[in-house]
Amino acid sequence: MHTYSVDPAGPAAETGEQDPVYDVLIVGGGPAGATAAMYTARAGWSTRVIDKGITAGALGMTSKISNFPGVRETIRGSALVEMLREQAEGFGAVFENDKVTAARVTDSVKTLWGGKGTYRGRGVVVTTGSMGRTQTLPGEERLTGRGVSYCATCDGFFFQDQTVVVAGSTDEVLEEALYLTRFARRVVLLSPAESLRASEDLVDEVEKHAAIDVRHAVTLREILGKDRVEGVVAVPLGDEPERIEATGVFIYIQGGKPIVDFLGGQIPVTSDGCLLIDETFQTQVPGVFAAGDVLCKHVKQAVIAAAEGAASAMAVDRYLAGRSKLRPDWS
């Protein structure tokens, strides 16, 4: 495996210094991303996967999986994702729990920016799925950057000794809520589900934390404030709307739209926001590939996403090795 260090004055040099450049960066760690990581790492390419958490994707949130080939028993989707990741890690892939918020992918060395740091790679595979939101909340656009945020590790510092609201219920959300307790006096966690859809250890830590007020089956309806956030309107299931006073709102609500906003329009998409690829799963930007639900071109099944992850990984292998054609590999 190889990692590189970026030299601003020239091409990447193979060193062990800071700012490593991986051979492959994979955004998203579901069935497509974890399988792609398995294949690229097994092929000898240094591979880093940036993912928001096991339960952040569609498979991780699924309660029962009974039709994945080779897995005879019925298991939770999160358990299947964990199995795929462990197999990829066994070949040397590295998983980073982070959210990619911006990217520059048109250079020969691609750069991704997340809440925890900067990631650089020679090839990128986008497997972020299609759970992005299609609509904003009343007051959200007006107050974005004025108390509305989507990244606690980016903006949590600005809410010292204040009350903030966090909306969502996955691993990512709980990690962000816990991070916010380093700064905020009180964190009100609004879970739209009747139970938190996250790993047991995270749920236990959050529910026992003195600074976190967990409210189950509560929907975030509106964000209040003129020039900056002053509070929110929340609706408990079967009850009347209530106002919660807060100076910050961190939103992690999910929907059904491909998650490609971090690409900043650098890669062409369809009218529905789905990434366009060729027969090798490469986008119109050389070195950037995509697989899984972000393509919106198939029935949403974990086995299909995993197969596309494998196909995209073999295409990345061809790209990095400078081959013009795919090399068959049936092992």
Same domain, yes or no: 66 and 204: no
Q: Give the residue, 52 or 325, on which the prediction is more confident.
A: 52
Task: Please indicate, yes or no, if residue 20 is contained in any of the structural domains.
Answer: yes
Could you say which of 200, 220, 251 is where a domain stops? 251
Give the range of the structural domain holding residue 172, as residue numbers without chain letter: 140-251
- Cβ atoms of residues 52 and 132 within 8 Å: no
Same domain, yes or no: 218 and 243: yes
Task: Please indicate, yes or no, if residue 331 is contained in any of the structural domains.
Answer: no
Question: How confident is the model at residue 256, as a pLDDT?
Answer: 62
pLDDT in tens, 124-163: 999 998 656 667 899 999 998 899 988 887 789 999 999 9
Most confident of 84-88, 249-253, 269-273: 84-88
pLDDT in tens, 271-304: 878 899 999 999 999 999 999 888 987 566 888 8
Q: What rounded mean pLDDT belongs to the chain?
A: 86
Same domain, yes or no: 179 and 155: yes
Same domain, yes or no: 78 and 165: no
The total domain count for the chain is 2
Same domain, yes or no: 117 and 148: no
- Give one DSSP letter per residue of 110-158, joined into a string: EEEEESS-EEEEEEEEE---S-B-SSPPTTHHHHBTTTEES-HHHHGGG
Task: Please indicate, yes or no, if residue 290 is contained in any of the structural domains.
Answer: yes
**What is this structure's pTM?**
0.70
**CATH number for the domain including 247?**
3.50.50.60
Q: Give the residue, 293 or 35, on which the prediction is more confident.
A: 35
Same domain, yes or no: 122 and 266: yes
Lowest mean pLDDT among 25-34, 103-112, 132-141, 155-164: 132-141
- Split at pLDDT 50, 70, 90, the class of 2 is very low
Q: Which residues are known to be catalytic?
A: 151, 154-155
Task: Please indicate, yes or no, if residue 328 is contained in any of the structural domains.
Answer: no
Could you say which of 230, 251, 272 is where a domain stops? 251
Question: How confident is the model at residue 26, as a pLDDT?
Answer: 97
Same domain, yes or no: 155 and 296: no
Same domain, yes or no: 34 and 79: yes
Please report the beta strands in the chain, taking only residues with DSSP state E, as ranges in sequence order. Answer: 3-5, 20-27, 47-51, 94-97, 100-104, 110-114, 118-126, 148-149, 163-167, 186-191, 212-216, 218-224, 231-236, 242-245, 248-251, 288-290
